[in-house]
Chains A and B, each alone.
Chain A
């Protein structure tokens, strides 16, 4: 079946620390991959995406590379800020099925 697995949180880091949130997937076909971010009390918003193997998505200092060989799409940021505290969701989209599949979310807490 199709699914997304991401590391459980919460993840607690100090400001300026390096961030990695792991995400792996299983999918039939060739999915597009996404990271969404949810700030407290808000809906999800797109952080970055990659539509084919070896693509790198990037936004606001965050990066993730579509690795087909390891079926992974890990999220990284070199230096986190307090304002990055949020819940991060990894997701995949299968066009042929018109469906999205979400991971369970990883809460990030960044301390000053």
Chain B
């Protein structure tokens, strides 16, 4: 029962470096999301994908890009990392087939930008 799998779990970058966070789900869900979690601010939506082939900006999209590679995979890319992007990142998925919603989360990726 893998659910939602994120890689890497930990990463340290220098300012200006780039990296991609990978996310895959095995539940045949239509919708996928990327959130960041910062102390005292809860979860903030970066980007989401309602279905394969579509992506939309969330609350805090600046500095990020996403790719919905196929139904299973949804990656988040930082082109030029900044210290303000130090955070814990969570990928989540939702079936998209009911009107009641339930998110399934990965274990998170802790990113530090020096």
Size bin of chain A's contact surface: 20 to 34
Shortest distance between the CB of A27 and any CB in chain B (Å): 13
Q: Are B105 and A45 in contact (CB under 8 A)?
A: yes
Shortest beta-carbon distance from A107 to chain B in Å? 10
1/0 per position for B2-20, CB-CB distance to A under 8 A? Answer: 0010000000000000000
User: B42–A98 contact, CB under 8 A?
Assistant: no
Residues of A within 8 A of B101 (CB): 32, 34, 93, 95, 100
Q: Taking A44-B90, A89-B43, A105-B42 as contacts, is the C-beta distance between A95 and B100 under 8 angstroms? A: yes
Binding site for B on A (CB under 8 A): 32, 34, 36, 42-46, 49, 51, 89, 91, 93, 95, 98-100, 102-105
From B33, B40, B102, B106, contact of A46 by CB (8 A):
B102
- Which secondary structure dominates chain A's binding surface? strand
Task: Identify 18 new A-B residue pairs, CB closer than 8 A, beyond the known A43-B4, A49-B102.
Answer: A32-B99, A32-B100, A34-B102, A34-B103, A43-B108, A44-B90, A89-B42, A93-B101, A95-B99, A98-B31, A98-B96, A99-B48, A100-B33, A100-B101, A102-B42, A103-B42, A104-B40, A105-B43
Whole-angstrom distance from the CB of B23 to the nearest CB of chain A?
11
Q: Does B45 contact A (CB under 8 A)?
A: yes
- A42 CB, nearest partner CB in chain B, Å: 6
Which B residues lie within 8 Å of A43 (CB)? Answer: 4, 90, 105-108
